[in-house]
Amino acid sequence: MSTIDAPERVAQPIPGSAPRLLVIQAPYYEAVVTGMRRGAERVLGEAGAQVTVVDVAGAFELPAALRMALAQGALPGGTGFDGFLLLGCVVKGETDHYDFICSAVCQGVMDVSTASGAAIGFGLLTVDTLQQAVARSAEDRHNKGAEAAHALLGQVALRRRWGL
């Protein structure tokens, strides 16, 4: 962990009804992703959000699951989530697999984000070691799930402000 301390943040209230949020998580590294989700749920709970959680097999599946969730919400009787939080972890190994997966997932999420304008919090850890991932999923102000939840709430608030 660096010597620079992360800021202590408080969840900002979202105007209007409680936001309905979908957490799409890839719990390949279960303890890490669970820690990130707990950090996110704390922040989202402070904001009064209604949270649904679904699992996918791995980080590579996150963009496709996001796209499916958006498509389902557009259908008659769809769930209509206000925003989406993606959580996962990729740990560097001895092959190029890490680089391809990280790049593909980040580009896939960005493509869906810019095409849809959906409110998205992106909590994908891309780390060299499992120890780095554990440090970023601990119950402290360095929890990257909590940081992604703050970003998501900001995006939901912005969409509502602009009437989207």
Binding residues for (2S)-2-hydroxy-3-oxobutyl phosphate: 94-95, 136
One of 54, 57, 71, 97 is an active-site residue; which one? 97
Which residues are documented as binding site for 5-amino-6-(D-ribitylamino)uracil?
A: 28, 59-61, 89-91, 122
Q: Tokens representing 68?
A: 């499916």
Active site residue 150: no
Which 3 state secondary structure label does DSSP give 140? coil
Which residues are documented as binding site?
A: 28, 59-61, 89-91, 94-95, 122, 136
10 Å CB burial of residue 80 (0-12, 13-18, 19+) is exposed
Tell me if 48 sits within 8 A of 18, measured CB to CB.
yes
Cα 74 to the center of its chain, rounded Å = 21
Which 3 state secondary structure label does DSSP give 30? helix
Cα 141 to the center of its chain, rounded Å = 16
Tell me if 77 sits within 8 A of 41, measured CB to CB.
no
Which 3 state secondary structure label does DSSP give 12? coil
* Active site members: 97
